[in-house]
Amino acid sequence: MRVSWLIADSFNDPAVDPESLANIGSTWGSWRTWRAWRTHNVLCQDTAKARDLVTRAFQAVCNLYISQTAYNEVGRPAGVKLFDGEFPAEFDCAEEIIGMHLIAEHNDLVLLLGYDLTEPTTDDVYEKHKRKNYLAAFAGAARMYADTQWVLLDHSGDLADNFADLENITCDSYQSVLDLLSQ
């Protein structure tokens, strides 16, 4: 069974050891997750940040994925990996959705750390709209890769309505999954 971790930008749990994650499967996350979690596969949607990372030869310490557009704009650097497609600037956490698409191609099980897939609770119309777009994109990716099992770890609250009909998304505890997969 092929297993990977997808780490949300907001994930912060000192009880989770990056080495324990790596012993089970490869780790994926945005460039914001690399320092804390030593993610093997780092995603960067923002062209300016991609330029900064490439200037520092970040692709020498991890698998750096940038958009095809960014690749052309930062001088077609060697050693980076590419993804196609763009998200509008106001779409929060685009790397998380991009990661879902890249991971699902090569994994049977994706363990999701730090994700909140509950209904939006804000009264701000714009923030609610952005949140609903994110949930729809997340559910759409899970639906597209129905043969991949997505496991939300330590998720609190009920899943948003977008996920009601998805049999390939489940919830479990981090410790339970760690115990099971470390055997």
pLDDT computed for residue 85 by the predictor: 83
The structural domains of the chain, ordered by start, are: 3-27+92-181 (3.40.50)
Mean per-residue pLDDT over the chain, rounded: 95
- Do 131 and 157 meet the contact criterion of CB atoms below 8 Å apart? no
Q: Classify residue 49 by burial, with Cβ atoms within 10 Å: 0-12, 13-18, 19+.
A: middle
- Stated pTM of the model: 0.94
Tens digits of residue pLDDT in 32-62: 999 999 999 999 999 999 999 999 999 999 9
Over its C-alpha atoms, the chain yields an Rg (Å, rounded) of 16
Tens digits of residue pLDDT in 55-106: 999 999 999 999 999 999 999 999 999 999 878 777 889 999 999 999 999 9
Range 150-179 average pLDDT:
96
In percent, the amount of the chain with pLDDT more than 90 equals 92
Q: How many CB atoms lie within 10 A of CB 176?
A: 12
Nearest C-alpha neighbor of 42 from the set 25, 65, 19, 23 = 65
